[in-house]
Structures are given as C-alpha cells and as structure tokens.
Structure 1
Amino acid sequence: MDNTLSRREFLRRAGMLAATGVAAPIAFNLSLMSEAAAATSPSDYKALVCVFLAGGNDHQNTVVPYDLQSYQAYANIRQTIATPRDRLLPLASLLSDGRQMALAPQLSGLATLFAAGRLGIVANMGPLAQPTTKAQYQNHTAVLPPKLFSHNDQQSYWMSSMAEGADSGWGGRVGDLFLSGNGNAALSCISIGGNGLYLSGQQARSFAVGVGGNPLLLWGSTNLFSPSYISELKALMSSNKNNYLEDEYVKVTQRGLNTSAQLDAALKAAPVLNTSFPANNSLADSLKMVAKLISTRGQLGNQRQVFMVQLAGFDMHDRLSSQHPILLKALNDALMAFDGALTELGLQDQVTTFTGSEFGRTLSSNGDGSDHGWASHHFVMGGAVAGGQIHGRVPLPVIGGADDVGQGRYIPDLSVEQLAWPLAKWFGVPESDRYLVLPTLAKFDENALKIMKPVP
C-alpha cells in the first residue's frame, strides 16, 4: 500500500479526528505510522475482547494436573480445596514432558472448544518487568513489577505495563493506531463493566456502555427524570462557556452526547440475535452487549474495535471450594453464548477473546482458600487461535521448587506483553509500531508465544 497521503486524504482524516475529539498531533502521528495496518475493506473487521477476572483467578483449580503422579502432588498440597480427579475434564493434548492437564468440571463448553481447536491455553503468564529467575528474586537483583501481589498495582501493570496511576493501557494504545480507519473513532475502545485504564490510549478513550446499551450517563439507565428535565440538563451541559476549560469540557460533553445518539440509533436498527444468553449472569449480559455492538459495525463504519468486560469476585481467601465453581460456570456459559453469537454473525474467525487477571493464586491452601500469587493460566478463544494446545510451560506442582517464590507463587515464564504482541499483530499492528503499543516488549522474546494461527 502507498503510505503517501494526499492533501485531501490528510484533511479528511483531520476532520474525522476532530469530530471525535482526537485531533491532537499525537493522533496524526500514530494514525499515519499505522497506515499499512488500517482496515480498508468493509468486510475486514476484527475485534479483541478482554474478559478480566478481577481479584486474581485461582488458576490452580481452573487448569489442573491430571496424570496420576502430578494430580497426587497437587492434591497433597491443596488438600481441602483440591478438585476431585474423577470430576475433572482431561485434555487430550499432553505437555512436552508427557504430563496431562484437565479443566475444571464447570468448563465443559471450553473443553469442547479446546478439543475443536478453537481455544488455546497460555500457561504460567503474568506481569513481569523483565525475565526473572528465582535466584534474582531471592537476591533482590531482579527488577519486579511495583508492589507485587497487590491487587490495584498488578491490575494496572497487567493492563499498562506501568504502576498504578498510569494514563494508558495496551488495549487503548492498540486502538490509537486505528482511529483514522474507523467511521466513529469514539467507539474504537468500548468498556462494559471493565477498567477504563486498559482501553485508554494516547488519544483513544474508553467509551463506557451499560449492558442495556445505554452509555453510562446520568440519564442512560434510569427513568427518574422527565424528558423535559433531561433535555434542559443536556442543554446546560452543552452550552457555550466563557471560560476556556469550561468550554473544552462542553465540547467533550457534546461529542459524548452525539456519539451516544449515534450508538443508540445503531443499536435500535441492529439485527436481533437468536443466540440465547444465560440469565442471572453478569458476564453473559456484558458479552451479549458486545455482540450487539459488533453487529452495528457496518452502520457505524468501524473496522477495528477493542472491548473489555469484567467478572469480579475471584479474590477467594476463603470459601473457594463453594464459590469458585460458581464463577467458573458463569465464565464458561457466558463465553459459550458469546461464541454462539459470533458464529451467528459469521465473525467467529474475526473476533479473538482472551482472559486476564491481575495474578494467579498460591498452590498451597490456607485452609479454605488460596492467597495472592503471581503467574496464572489464561484462555484465548476464536477461530484465528492456534487452539487445542497449552502454550508455554506448566510448572510442576511443587512447593519450594525452582519456580516458587513462596507458597506456590510461580514466577511467570511469559509476560503479559508476550501475549499482547501476537494479539496486536493479528489485529493488524505492524512490526514497526510494536513498541508504541508495548514499550517494554523489547525486554522479552517477542515471538515466544505462537498463540495465533499464521496469517495466510
């Protein structure tokens, strides 16, 4: 593709960015640098969907050792919170050393997708500042993510590669590169109950939408106010001001109102999905709305979108045996319904969904639960995924081993950046822009994780 932009095309993009509130020079630079990656065909749609398991998912009871020797070691350590072996769902794919793993009994749908080659597992991944060994950790010579094992800090580091207080996340920085290729750039990054940091870029901003389709504005989810009151409030919020800062705030507000109106009209005209989503499942509600939003891509002219949804409640220092299975079933049922909706839309190969969580949990039990860990196992779902495999190394279930920094807190083999890069590359981010999206990627083996199928 010829990357030389004509004056007319330059001005067209300037107008588009200005209309959506992203007309700063940085947006031009990012958009122009990614010209080769910009989507050009109406059918060339791709989306990334992050499903964040907030609180630190107990990966030890999600992807479980199954061969007799490994399972016995796991059960001896976990004791009261170990899942019975006869209830596990064994995976046919063996690890390189011959060990066998299984999924929790509540993940039967994901086990089916794994067997069909449409779900992959990324093993022993987590926030890293640099590749780290146990000796470096013990000798205090390793550069570590700040405030390791802290919820807020590790969530921030997972989403941004920066400490709490960061102003951009890698999902938003991916979105930055595609603003000019989307007909409605304000809807490039959409959060439905997720953390806004992950979807915030240098110019892209997280657009929050409720599960009912209403933008999360005061009047979006309530009938407490009369139409006349709402009309007057909107007029007040969008009227011109004499103060510069007030006037800029009004411009942002007006853009938000305009985008909300466009989105509302598109959702009303969207096709009705026949796929059934489970009731009383907050994650399913969020993913159902993601599917609806994706179905409006043609009306709104969006060809690249990044979404984030969240399922909370994974910080289980107690009641793990009774509560964790409930969350895993909610995850399984929601993802299966979402996969069905994408298949109905004919987009099962064009949307990649993946899980995230600030950290895993300790292998050891505290009696009724597990404590904050470090590395974790994650799922990546979609037709473009190199599924049916466990990518990466699964540590042996041993306390005090070469991977353990205490209580079965495993040091990650893979950093979050090493997952983010193949996802971003599949999405269309060119090699030349990888450090714009992932500034710390150069510290790691950039091609270690082959989670996506080769692009033809």
Structure 2
Amino acid sequence: MDNTLSRREFLRRAGMLAASGAAAPMAFNLSLMSEAAAATAPSDYKALVCVFFSGGNDHQNTMVPYDLKNYQAYATIRQSIATPRDKLLPLPGLLADGRQMALAPQLAGLASLFGQGRLAVVANMGPLVQPTTKAQYLSRSVALPPKLFSHNDQQSFWMSSMAEGASSGWGGRIGDLFLAGNSNAALSCISVGGIGLYLSGKQASSFTVGVTGNPQLLWGSTNLFSPSYINELKVLMSTNKTNYLENEYVKVTQRGLNTSVQLDAALKAAPALSTSFPAGNSLADSLKMVAKLISTRAQLGNNRQVFMVQLGGFDMHDSLLAKHPPQLKMVNDALMAFDSAMIELGLQDQVTTFTGSEFGRTLSSNGDGSDHGWGSHHFVMGGAVAGGKIYGRVPEPIIGGADDVGQGRYIPDLSVEQLAWPLAKWFGVPDSDRYLVLPTLARFDADALQIMR
C-alpha cells in the first residue's frame, strides 16, 4: 500500500480540522509514531530559533560598504536604491583588506548587540552543492543547486540540501537525535508560522502552533478545540477499526490531541513575560509565542527544541526603498524584544537565533528594486555566539567581478551546511552524527565558521 497516498486521502477527508491550518499537524502527524533517538538525554536546556526571510532578503541594503571608496562603488551601481551613507550605522572593526561595513539605519538594536559581542554576521552564505568558482559556474563543470534563483527550489535546498519535494530538513534532523531526551517528543520541533520542511526529520516532525497558541475553530457554536469537544473526539477515535492503517491513524490522532491539550494547559499556566513585544509586528507576534513556548520547557520536560518563524514580503522587484526599511525595522524590533525575553528567562546563553533566506538580491538596480540573487548575509544572535565579528568574505561591490555571475549575483563563499554544523554542534550533536544531520557536509570545510563560544 502507498502510505503517502493514503495519508493524503486521510488528510483530505479530515478537511474540517485541516482548515484550521495550525492544528492539523498537531493531530495528524505520522512522524510521531517513532520516538527513537540516538543522543544521550541532556540535562541542560538549549534551543535553536530560525528566523526565515521569505522572498529573498536584499542583503545589499542590509549590510552596506561604509568606507568612502567602496560606498561610492556601491552607490554608483545601486543608483536610486542605495541607502544614503550618512544614515548608515558603521560597525566597529575592519575587514581583513581594510574595508569597513555598516548596517542599515533600521537595525540600530542589532548594531548595538554586534558591539556587545552578542551578534555576528555571516557573510555571503547560500545554497551550494559543492564549493564553486565563477569559471566552474560558467562551464557548468560542477553541480549547482537545482533551479537556481527559483524561490521554492532554493527555499527547499536551503532547508534540506535537496530539491523541492524533499521530506526532511536539517532542523528536523537535529531534532531527531534528541527526541528521547524530551518528555514531550512531539514538541521537539515547533513552527510558529514557519515552513514545515525545515523542522521535519526522519522521526521528528514540525508541530505547528499559532501566534496565540491553540486555535479556535468554530462549527456553528461549537469550538472544535474546546476541552469538551476534544474529549468527545478522543472517545470517537478510541473505537477499534477493522483496517490496520485506520488504527494507526487513530493512535496518532489521539497522541496529537493529548499533546495539544498538554501544551494549551502549560501555556495558560506559564507566568506572563514582562518583556514588551511591539504591536503590529507579525514577526514579533511569532517570536513572542516562541518565548512563551520556551517558558514552558520545565513543565513539559523538554531540554532540546528547534523553532522556526517566518517573515514574508522580501521579494522586492520594485519600490525597494519604500518596502525594505519597514521590513528591517520589524526584524530589528522583533529580535530585540525576543533577546530581552531570553534575558528575562535567564536563557540568553542557551538560545541561539539565526536568520535565513532562500537567496540574496542583485547588487545592480532594476530601476526601482533588485532581482533574485544567490549568496546573502545573515545574523546569528545570542550569548553563546562569538559575536562582534563578520565571518566569511564580503565580496567587493563590483559588477562582472570574480564573484559575480550576472548583475551582482554573488557566488556564495559559504554553504548553508557550514553554518548549520557549528549550530548543531553547539546544540549537542556529536561529531559522529554530523552526516546524519548534514549528509553533504563532507564536501565543505566543516570547521570554517568558529562562530560559537
């Protein structure tokens, strides 16, 4: 029997619950059948939080050349979409070749964390099959990420090292190794508005939570996720079925419902955070829920958790100067509030937050915006980060140079795997399991980024 097709048919017939979006993965997660784990249960707490910028963040206006020579080169190429130099926030220190970089004016909080040594920048990172030069790219003498510059395909490759249609991501594969160490294995990998692939492992699965916790789904006057309805559903689902697969679905559904009830009770019992998260900021709403979920770690018995949140709207082919600064302001304010919440919880050294995006943008302007690029710059934040430093090599602002495959699309110097490995190692993944989490890591210098303390 084709279990994949059977699952699809089951979910189709379960349309009422699937309509809730956030609740369906809780109740119908086939991956929860297996709770095997390879790692020894840790006694401390650690969490990884992936903040994904969907659409391809314009990294060229996120971190900008600041020394006069390179700023002028950047401004000449970017023309009307260049950020004025007198608005930029110069970062302390110089690159190895003497260049100075700056952050966008909307990122004042992150610039401050960089100065405190609690935030680092990873320069020119992106999806790679193997280290690639411009000559190799032009001759197609090396394998390239599938459908390069495509949103869906590069999102998939960023999260899984595989083309669209992949079944597991490296966040979920990290989670696989720690399932047995968590009392509630279903809550090892949690998405709050994120993309499920990143958090799907071989055994672990993405448990989706809304920004307000468990949703309310009304059918007439009945709340389908009220305690009374869930109890009735449990009774209904406890009836023995004649079909083996149906019985397995029943077990999984019961487990999902139980987890949902436990989580809801834990969130209601959790003390309110005094940290103020900005209103009208969807990323802040998601990170506020992550903070609440982390605050329930002891009650629910979870020592290792991987989270993902997402902010869309970065595909800016036009109106870049109108659209991008507000996006960066949302990112800054949300991350600063989340950092404050972790300090309030006393977990600033035990939670590491990092950004991702399927690709960066072109250095050249298309007149009012920028187009799909390749390599991009990203942030890593937390007390365990060896911050105050730009890791990797920042390409020079040159069109047609050694890094450019067209319009200022930079070939990444660093693969996503080269960031994923130090994060996984800090999280507790043993060296012997590195290829379980990152099967293609052997193609790259695994120790290129000494980014964690």
Give the alignment's TM-score, normalised by structure 2. Answer: 0.90
SS at match of 1:162: coil
SS at match of 1:197: helix
Cα distance in 1, alignment partners of residues 325 and 248 from structure 2: 48
Residues 351-394 of structure 1: CA deviation (Å, up to 9, x unaligned): 00000000000000000100000000000000000100000000
Question: Given that residues 147 and 154 in structure 1 are in contact (C-alpha distance below 8 angstroms), is that contact kept between their aligned partners in structure 2?
Answer: yes
The residue type paired with residue 59 of structure 2 is: H
Correspondences of 1:422-441 after superposition (within 5 Å): 422-441=422-441
Deviation at 1:225, TM superposition (A): 4.4
SS at match of 1:138: helix
User: What are structure 1's unaligned runs of at least 5 residues?
Assistant: 1-19, 215-219
Matched, 1:151 2:119: no
The residue type paired with residue 431 of structure 1 is: D
The residue type paired with residue 281 of structure 2 is: N
Matched, 1:287 2:287: yes
The corresponding residue for 1:221 is: 216
SS at match of 2:412: coil
Correspondences of 1:119-138 after superposition (within 5 Å): 119-138=119-138
Residues 44-83 of structure 1: CA deviation (Å, up to 9, x unaligned): 1000000000000000000000000000000000001000
Cα distance in 2, alignment partners of residues 345 and 99 from structure 1: 38
The corresponding residue for 2:51 is: 51
Q: 1:228 to 1:345 in 2, by over 3 A?
A: closer
Correspondences of 1:58-69 after superposition (within 5 Å): 58-69=58-69
The corresponding residue for 2:193 is: 193
The residue type paired with residue 305 of structure 1 is: Q
Question: Given that residues 238 and 253 in structure 1 are in contact (C-alpha distance below 8 angstroms), is that contact kept between their aligned partners in structure 2?
Answer: no
The corresponding residue for 2:244 is: 244
Question: Given that residues 33 and 252 in structure 2 are in contact (C-alpha distance below 8 angstroms), is that contact kept between their aligned partners in structure 1?
Answer: no
Matched, 1:208 2:202: no
Residues 284-308 of structure 1: CA deviation (Å, up to 9, x unaligned): 0000000000000000000000000
The corresponding residue for 2:5 is: none
Question: Given that residues 149 and 372 in structure 2 are in contact (C-alpha distance below 8 angstroms), is that contact kept between their aligned partners in structure 1?
Answer: yes
Question: Given that residues 119 and 380 in structure 1 are in contact (C-alpha distance below 8 angstroms), is that contact kept between their aligned partners in structure 2?
Answer: yes
The corresponding residue for 2:166 is: 166
Question: Given that residues 63 and 377 in structure 1 are in contact (C-alpha distance below 8 angstroms), is that contact kept between their aligned partners in structure 2?
Answer: yes
Matched, 1:397 2:397: yes
Q: 1:221 to 1:140 in 2, by over 3 A?
A: same
Question: Given that residues 395 and 403 in structure 2 are in contact (C-alpha distance below 8 angstroms), is that contact kept between their aligned partners in structure 1?
Answer: yes
Question: Given that residues 122 and 379 in structure 1 are in contact (C-alpha distance below 8 angstroms), is that contact kept between their aligned partners in structure 2?
Answer: yes
The corresponding residue for 1:377 is: 377
Residues 412-455 of structure 1: CA deviation (Å, up to 9, x unaligned): 000000000000000000100000000000000000011111xx
Cα distance in 2, alignment partners of residues 229 and 433 from structure 1: 42
SS at match of 2:199: coil
Deviation at 1:226, TM superposition (A): 3.5
Q: 1:280 to 1:141 in 2, by over 3 A?
A: same
Correspondences of 1:12-411 after superposition (within 5 Å): 22=32, 24=34, 28=36, 31-32=37-38, 34-35=39-40, 38-39=41-42, 41=43, 44-214=44-214, 220-227=215-222, 231=229, 232=232, 235-236=235-236, 239-411=239-411
Deviation at 1:235, TM superposition (A): 4.5
The residue type paired with residue 256 of structure 1 is: G
Cα distance in 2, alignment partners of residues 324 and 425 from structure 1: 34
Deviation at 1:207, TM superposition (A): 0.2
Question: Given that residues 217 and 224 in structure 2 are in contact (C-alpha distance below 8 angstroms), is that contact kept between their aligned partners in structure 1?
Answer: no
The corresponding residue for 1:443 is: 443
Cα distance in 1, alignment partners of residues 107 and 223 from structure 2: 49
Question: Given that residues 351 and 382 in structure 1 are in contact (C-alpha distance below 8 angstroms), is that contact kept between their aligned partners in structure 2?
Answer: yes
Question: Given that residues 374 and 410 in structure 2 are in contact (C-alpha distance below 8 angstroms), is that contact kept between their aligned partners in structure 1?
Answer: yes
Deviation at 1:227, TM superposition (A): 4.3
The residue type paired with residue 129 of structure 2 is: A
Deviation at 1:223, TM superposition (A): 4.4
Aligned-pair identity in percent equals 78
Cα distance in 1, alignment partners of residues 199 and 238 from structure 2: 25
The corresponding residue for 2:6 is: none
Question: Given that residues 21 and 255 in structure 1 are in contact (C-alpha distance below 8 angstroms), is that contact kept between their aligned partners in structure 2?
Answer: no
Total equivalences in the alignment: 420
SS at match of 1:120: strand
Residues 22-56 of structure 1: CA deviation (Å, up to 9, x unaligned): 454xx53xx23x22xx30x2xx1000000000000
Question: Given that residues 31 and 204 in structure 2 are in contact (C-alpha distance below 8 angstroms), is that contact kept between their aligned partners in structure 1?
Answer: no
Deviation at 1:241, TM superposition (A): 2.2
RMSD: 1.6
Q: 1:301 to 1:384 in 2, by over 3 A?
A: same
Q: 1:229 to 1:389 in 2, by over 3 A?
A: closer
The residue type paired with residue 121 of structure 2 is: I
SS at match of 1:92: coil
Q: 1:242 to 1:196 in 2, by over 3 A?
A: same
The corresponding residue for 2:17 is: none
Cα distance in 1, alignment partners of residues 256 and 155 from structure 2: 27
Q: 1:393 to 1:252 in 2, by over 3 A?
A: same
Cα distance in 2, alignment partners of residues 189 and 403 from structure 1: 36
Question: Given that residues 93 and 390 in structure 1 are in contact (C-alpha distance below 8 angstroms), is that contact kept between their aligned partners in structure 2?
Answer: no
Residues 79-119 of structure 1: CA deviation (Å, up to 9, x unaligned): 01000000000001211111000000000000000000000
Cα distance in 1, alignment partners of residues 326 and 66 from structure 2: 21
Deviation at 1:140, TM superposition (A): 1.1
The residue type paired with residue 216 of structure 2 is: S
Question: Given that residues 89 and 104 in structure 2 are in contact (C-alpha distance below 8 angstroms), is that contact kept between their aligned partners in structure 1?
Answer: yes
Q: 1:432 to 1:244 in 2, by over 3 A?
A: same
Cα distance in 2, alignment partners of residues 64 and 235 from structure 1: 60
The residue type paired with residue 285 of structure 1 is: D
The corresponding residue for 2:23 is: none
Deviation at 1:247, TM superposition (A): 1.9
Cα distance in 1, alignment partners of residues 446 and 31 from structure 2: 33
Cα distance in 2, alignment partners of residues 319 and 450 from structure 1: 37
